[in-house]
Amino acid sequence: MHGFSKNCLEEYQDQNIMTTNRTFTMLKPDAVKKAYIGPILEQITASGFRIVAMKLTQLTTADAQEFYAIHKERPFYNDLVSYMTSGPIVAAILEKENAVEDFRTLIGATNPEDAAEGTIRKKFAASISENAVHGSDSNENAAIESAFHFSGREQF
């Protein structure tokens, strides 16, 4: 569970949005820099995901520290925060039946060396740290991460 302020999550839940068919993704700085936004979004939408919300944005250090607070004790935490703030990202909410699990299948393993052929990370990721895309790991985190980036008015 992330340590985000409860207000955002409560606001999100209060809007009575069905969260079980939604997941949250970021196209990370390496993917944006290498001009992979188009091909990655094409693969996502061709795989049956509907874009509910999307923006090009850049995380501040405080944003990234909060978003990845769950990894605070991990040795890669500082590198992760500096990498995730190194350039623009695309943040998006995606909708599909069984969204969280199906999206994680579509992106492949965290380390692209272990990712299955044809997955987004296998095709577009450079390394375990610069791994092109994020996908929420549970319905609860999808709701929390979506609320971190988007208000209800930004979701369609």
Catalytic residues: 134
Query: Number of residues in contact with ligand CMP, rule: CB under 6 A?
Result: 7
Q: Residue 37 half-sphere exposure, CB side, CA atoms within 13 Å?
A: 14
146 binds ligand CMP (CB under 6 A): no
DSSP string, 141-153: HHHHHHHHH--GG
149 binds ligand CMP (CB under 6 A): no
Please choose, out of 47-55, 97-105, 113-121, 124-132, the segment that lies near ligand CMP by the rule CB under 6 A: 124-132
85 binds ligand CMP (CB under 6 A): no
Closest-CB residue for ligand CMP?
134
Distances (CA, A) of 6 to 50, 76, 112: 27, 26, 34
25 binds ligand CMP (CB under 6 A): no
Could you give the angle at the alpha carbon of 102 between the alpha carbons of 101 and 107, nearest 5°?
100
129 binds ligand CMP (CB under 6 A): yes
